[in-house]
Structure 1
Amino acid sequence: MKEEIHALTDEMLENLGRLVAIDSQLGTPAEGMPFGEGPAKALEVGLKIAEELGFKTVNLDNYCGYAEMGEGDEIVGIAGHLDIVPAGGDWTHDPFTLTRDGDYVYGRGTTDDKGPVLEALYAMKLLRDSGVKLNKRVRLIMGCNEETGSKCMEHYNEVAEELSCGFTPDASYPCIHGEKGGVHMMAYSKNTKIISMNGGFVVNAVCDSCNTVIPAEDGLKERLEAALSETKLQEYKVTEENGTLTIYAKGVPAHASTPTLGVNAAGVTFECLEKAGFEDDFVTFYNTHLGTSCDGAGIGLKFADAYGDLTFCNGIVKTEDGVISCTIDIRVPVTLKEEELRSMCEGKLEDENGRIEIQSVGESLFFPADSPLVTALYKAYVDVTGDTENKPMVIGGGTYAKSLKNIIAFGPEMPGIDYRIHSADEYILVSGMEESVLIYMEAIKNLLAI
């Protein structure tokens, strides 16, 4: 089967190029296009590719659509997404032109999640063409709003049938049997001398660059430069003119589920302002309540269970009408319940210098590692890769598994490889793409047998 998959590689990459060429980040809603023109166009092209491969397709009002094969009452579902996060960052390749360099193929969405959608589609095609008996329907759902709320799957649940079992190819191997809960908060300044502070581009990634303007003070520029020189910033610059200092800080991007892998440019700037002796109410509030530790300790939320730590990420900082606001994305361990979390931070969210509001609290997801669904998917991974060292795991990221019943996240990222999703120069490996097609074929066969 590896030869058959390899023979289809050029065709898969050509089709991936068609999808990557579409800037499918959330746009302005229009009639018949709930998430804007880009996501609607990506869905149109995704369904067209499926039709070209001989599948029946259905468009569910441009919220999402699906390609399907087989007969029966039960549905093995595969749910991927065609929307993307903004290109952002400093790319060395055009994010909207598929660029191959040996085994590496660059472009926004190659791994998250346009590439995996095609891997699953070709797995379905090869299974169908091989004559495997389909005692259930196999349905590949293509969503358009995973990155900014998963309203596409809310619509799916309203208008389409429930899945019997399945997976979303939007995380890591060997498989994900739990996903942390998600909490969104906002921090606001009450009083601040900071003239403006703006940084970050998405809520669910570490603030990777920041521009700050403050009043100049004697010797402050030199003290700031000394403090900044001792940080892990990639780049910084302090300029003085017209009685103000402008601080540019470039950190390291990382997904909000793994914020310790990044360097928060805003957080480091706040730390350095304090070290340099810039006395300010909101600087004090940020450093005591948010900080750069990524663990929520500043508001009483430091917590870990057997499946992972609570993580705390400041993604965007902006100034409007003299008020600085900071987004906070928290990933909550699967055993920590909402009422416990609220009581842990009660009384710690506000003082005279600033305040934090809880915007939303999302539940966690958990399937026991020995459940039939986890067992079936893990077996497919092990049978193809031979890897028995890596085990099913719990992650901080949130996927469609929280929106659709009876599915968990499964692939496509291999252990130990950073595919730069949500960062510049996101890529997919051709060898990994071929291997994933084979893994997804085995997974579908195992799910048909449940």
Structure 2
Amino acid sequence: MTIDWQKEVDARKDALLEDLQNLLRINSERDDSKVTSDAPFGPGPVAGLKHMLAYGERDGFVVKNVDNYAGHIEYGEGDETLGIFGHMDVVPAGDGWDTDPYEPVIKDGKIFARGSSDDKGPSMAAYYALRIIKDLGVPLSKKVRFVVGSDEESGWGDMDYYFKHEEKPDFGFSPDAEFPIINGEKGNVTIRLTFKGGNGVDYQLISFKSGLRENMVPGTATAIVTAASADDAASLTASFETFIKEEQKISGHAELSDQTVTFHVVGKGAHGASPQSGINAATFLATFLNNYSFAEGAYSFINTLAEFVHEDFYGEKLGTAFEDEKMGKLTMNAGIVNFDPANPENSLVTLNFRYPKGTSAEELQEKVQKTVGENVTATQGGRNQEPHYVPADDPLVETLLQVYEDHTGQKGHEQIIGGGTYGRLLKRGVAYGAMFPGYTDTMHQANEFMALDDLFRATAIYADAIYRLAK
């Protein structure tokens, strides 16, 4: 059977775009303060999940909602199941947007909105690919299950719950990365640094706040400091203004009120898997404050950030640097940076490591603890995802690369990334698109976008891939 997949996509462009815009209007950020039994990650993620599943019901698929944690849209019959994994939750919009992040805007051939490239746009491309298969009545020998998640950007509690109630597909892909393919993903673990209470005499750190998520480079940072005198506070403010002028990578300002100075720093947000692509506002602010005499917990907090974390994208200062020939270098991102002397349990720095095979979360924790010393406590926080790899000669990888080559005329090749996708949920699972080589990465950043041509081209590739894998 010969099918012009791009022609089929072109016939559905308007419908695809309308459905995507409606989905992007949903603020599906996780909000733990509003968790209920019906909204396990807050109202936003479940709204996105239900909206996506409603498309499946509208279009005549078999649909199942698994207690508002996750769900699936299913087509076909067979002893084997091809899984496609997308997610409706998004990271917080943050600051710096030129438009409303939850009112999609189409400009210069791109659609701007939070989630446009991670992962609502690619998920919609994969969904419409499956819809084309169904519309054409293409005979399949395998079942195809499009699994929709709602907690990919946080703890993956959606998939933990889903797979307690549903069988895992036999193989599959996640449209949540880039082409030609991602068949390897580094390990992913967060080491949390906690600090004792206490402050200084000459200068006191009243608060320090930066970061929205562990897997985002903090684009802004704010700190409040009191000095021993109004003159010292004025001198501190003047020094900060000089610091900002000299540092070409950041901007910022200080507000002086008697003996209190409030500092604001603006860097550049980025995906935590590529911390070198961002400018961590928190660590820059810490390098400035490290020139002044703080004490106890405040000193440990500032000094640790300035001496061991600032621009240490590969763990060299922390003593955790590691590289594997196939998977590349370990990376580290300081995502959440907070200091609260009144509540020491809230004073922490999260170090999110993406590590290759050959090291382990336990080894990283031990090395970090040795480096930061006894006044700081290093513990593992949350899930540890070990490195994942599907060999290049696996039929899944070979088929997906062939589809990519046939549609683009470009040679396919394996890739390994620091980002973690749902592809790693399956032993034979990979990430596949929807971003093409040379794309501008705006995931987890302000003014996130997806090029419409890429959206439609990816849809055709997904349709052909589903057909070849399940026919």
Give the TM-score normalised by structure 2.
0.89
- In structure 2, what is the Cα distance between the partners aligned to 1:38 and 1:248? 29
Written as runs of structure 1 = structure 2, the 5 A alignment for 1:10-409 is: 10-27=14-31, 28-190=34-196, 191-192=198-199, 193-216=204-227, 217=232, 219-274=235-290, 276-278=291-293, 281-282=299-300, 283-306=302-325, 307-322=327-342, 323=344, 324-345=347-368, 347-352=370-375, 354-360=376-382, 361-388=384-411, 391-409=413-431
- In structure 2, what is the Cα distance between the partners aligned to 1:243 and 1:339? 44
Q: What is the deviation of 1:278?
A: 4.8
Find runs of 4+ consecutive structure 1 residues off by over 6 angstroms: none
Q: What is the deviation of 1:405?
A: 4.2
> For residues 246 and 37 of structure 1, do their structure 2 counterparts lie closer, same or farther at Cα, with a shift above 3 Å needed?
closer
Secondary structure in 2 matching 1:174: coil
- In structure 1, what is the Cα distance between the partners aligned to 2:192 and 2:360? 20
Contact 1:153 1:404 survives alignment (8 Å): no
Residue type of the partner of 2:340? E
Q: Does 1:4 align with 2:14?
A: no
- In structure 1, what is the Cα distance between the partners aligned to 2:367 and 2:223? 32
Q: What is the deviation of 1:44?
A: 1.8
- In structure 2, what is the Cα distance between the partners aligned to 1:420 and 1:379? 27
Contact 2:390 2:429 survives alignment (8 Å): no
- In structure 2, what is the Cα distance between the partners aligned to 1:31 and 1:127? 36
Residue type of the partner of 2:267? G
Q: What is the deviation of 1:436?
A: 0.4
Secondary structure in 1 matching 2:224: strand
Number of matched pairs: 446
Which shifted more, 12-21 or 334-343?
Answer: 334-343
User: What stretches of structure 2 of length at least 5 have no aligned partner?
Assistant: none
Residue type of the partner of 1:125? R
Contact 1:221 1:238 survives alignment (8 Å): yes
> For residues 6 and 143 of structure 1, do their structure 2 counterparts lie closer, same or farther at Cα, with a shift above 3 Å needed?
same
Residue type of the partner of 2:304? F
- In structure 1, what is the Cα distance between the partners aligned to 2:404 and 2:437? 12
Contact 1:220 1:278 survives alignment (8 Å): no
User: What stretches of structure 1 of length at least 5 have no aligned partner?
Assistant: none
Contact 1:5 1:437 survives alignment (8 Å): yes
Written as runs of structure 1 = structure 2, the 5 A alignment for 1:434-449 is: 434-448=456-470
Residue type of the partner of 2:110? Y
Secondary structure in 1 matching 2:254: strand
> For residues 232 and 253 of structure 1, do their structure 2 counterparts lie closer, same or farther at Cα, with a shift above 3 Å needed?
farther
- In structure 2, what is the Cα distance between the partners aligned to 1:336 and 1:446? 37
Contact 2:172 2:423 survives alignment (8 Å): no
Q: What is the deviation of 1:419?
A: 4.1
Aligned mate of 2:449, from 427, 434, 438? 427
Q: What is the deviation of 1:299?
A: 2.4
> For residues 224 and 115 of structure 1, do their structure 2 counterparts lie closer, same or farther at Cα, with a shift above 3 Å needed?
same
> For residues 373 and 132 of structure 1, do their structure 2 counterparts lie closer, same or farther at Cα, with a shift above 3 Å needed?
same
Which shifted more, 373-382 or 167-176?
Answer: 373-382
Contact 2:219 2:279 survives alignment (8 Å): yes
Could you report, residue by residue, the CA deviation over 1:285-307 in whole angstroms, capped at 9, with x for unpaired residues? 32223222222223210111122
- In structure 1, what is the Cα distance between the partners aligned to 2:37 and 2:380? 33
Which shifted more, 157-166 or 289-298?
Answer: 289-298
Secondary structure in 1 matching 2:317: helix
Contact 1:301 1:345 survives alignment (8 Å): yes
Secondary structure in 1 matching 2:370: coil
> For residues 25 and 318 of structure 1, do their structure 2 counterparts lie closer, same or farther at Cα, with a shift above 3 Å needed?
same
Query: Corresponding residue for 1:416?
Result: 438
> For residues 339 and 235 of structure 1, do their structure 2 counterparts lie closer, same or farther at Cα, with a shift above 3 Å needed?
closer
Contact 2:244 2:250 survives alignment (8 Å): no
Q: What is the deviation of 1:346?
A: 5.3
Taking only aligned residues, the RMSD between alpha carbons, in angstroms, comes to 2.0
- In structure 2, what is the Cα distance between the partners aligned to 1:327 and 1:337? 17
Residue type of the partner of 2:237? K
Secondary structure in 1 matching 2:46: helix
- In structure 1, what is the Cα distance between the partners aligned to 2:38 and 2:169? 25
Q: What is the deviation of 1:228?
A: 2.5
> For residues 102 and 343 of structure 1, do their structure 2 counterparts lie closer, same or farther at Cα, with a shift above 3 Å needed?
closer
Could you report, residue by residue, the CA deviation over 1:3-42 in whole angstroms, capped at 9, with x for unpaired residues? 3211211111110112111111123222332222222222
Q: What is the deviation of 1:54?
A: 2.4
- In structure 2, what is the Cα distance between the partners aligned to 1:130 and 1:78? 19
